[in-house]
Amino acid sequence: MTRFAVRAEIMKLAQLLELEATELGYLETVAADDLRRLREQITDVIYDSGSHALGRLASASRLLPTSVVALIGEHAFGPMLAARIAGLLDPARAAEVAAKLPTPFLAEVATHLDPRRAAEVLRRMPPDRIAEVARELTAAEEHVTLGRFVGHLPDEAIGLALADMDDLTVLRVAFVLEDTEGADRVLALLDRARLERLLDAAKGTELWPDVLELFAGAPEPWRSQVLGARVA
């Protein structure tokens, strides 16, 4: 169990339940894996509890042009319900609707979206549009949301988003990735010079202890070459 993995899970739970993370401080002693399982259970309960009504709305939307569906999504549903219904629409149609929505709205939708349920829609969105949304989320310091999405996006979209992020933001997102596979993908998409810059930016900041913990599990020879010199 790592400290930042537990903190990240508490932040994700707080976001899901629309609470402040400090209100869930009592979960700090629970293992990250258990917190993740709890978050998935709660996500399923919330999504399932509205699925009947949302399913009827999704069916009715088939009668309407995608421009009207986008209008309704933005002005009548709002970001939380738009996120809940996204995975119930035909993925190709949902991607068409997303193309008609403003980027700031999509960023808000992303904060409520369970990417597992909208993976097909995400796959159909152009990488540069995803990067635009990521830029908006970065500006809003929505690191938890960015971290939740990495495992569900194509490399091209992640690469574009990483190129736009400042070094400390990349680290803050790395702390809240869903799994080690996500961390490996991010590492593979960053060149050596960028990795060196990330570590230099973090050294001496409050992020440094977590950076050491994060990269302690990184593969060799990378760990010795890049991290070793800085720890010595």
Partner 1 sequence: MVRTAMADRDDALARLERELRSPAPAGVRAVRAGDLEHLAAAIAEARHRQAAAIGAAAERGLRFVPRLLRGPVRKMVGG
Nearer to partner 1, 63 or 232 (CB): 63
Tokens of 141: 């310091």
Element at 143 (helix H, strand E): helix 143-149
Q: How far is CA 217 from CA 148, 180, 195, in A?
A: 20, 9, 15
Contacts of 112 (CB under 8 A, 6+ apart): 79, 80, 82, 83, 84
For residue 60, state whether it binds partner 1 (rule: CB under 8 A).
Answer: yes
Mask of contacts with partner 1, 5-34, x by CB under 8 A?
Answer: -----------xxxx---xx-xx-xxx-xx
Does 180 help bind partner 1 (rule: CB under 8 A)?
A: no
Dihedral sign computed on CA atoms, order 136, 62, 154, 21? positive
Q: Which of 59, 180, 224, 225 binds partner 1 (CB under 8 A)?
A: 59
Contact residue for partner 1 among 3, 68, 200, 228 (CB under 8 A): 68
Shortest approach of partner 1 to residue 217 CB, angstroms? 21
Calpha distance 205→100 (Å, rounded): 41
Query: Quick one: which of 21, 57, 201, 218 contacts partner 1 (CB under 8 A)?
Result: 57
Q: Is residue 89 at the binding interface for partner 1, with CB under 8 A as the rule?
A: no
Task: For residues 20 and 16, give the distance between their C-alpha atoms in angstroms, rounded to a whole number.
Answer: 10
DSSP state of 219: P
Among residues 78 and 151, whose Cβ is nearest to partner 1? 78
CA-to-CA distance for 24 and 26, rounded, in angstroms?
Answer: 5
Q: Give me the residues that bind partner 1 (CB under 8 A), please.
A: 16-19, 23-24, 26-27, 29-31, 33-35, 37-38, 41-42, 45-46, 49-50, 53-54, 56-57, 59-60, 63-64, 68, 71-72, 75-78, 80-81, 84
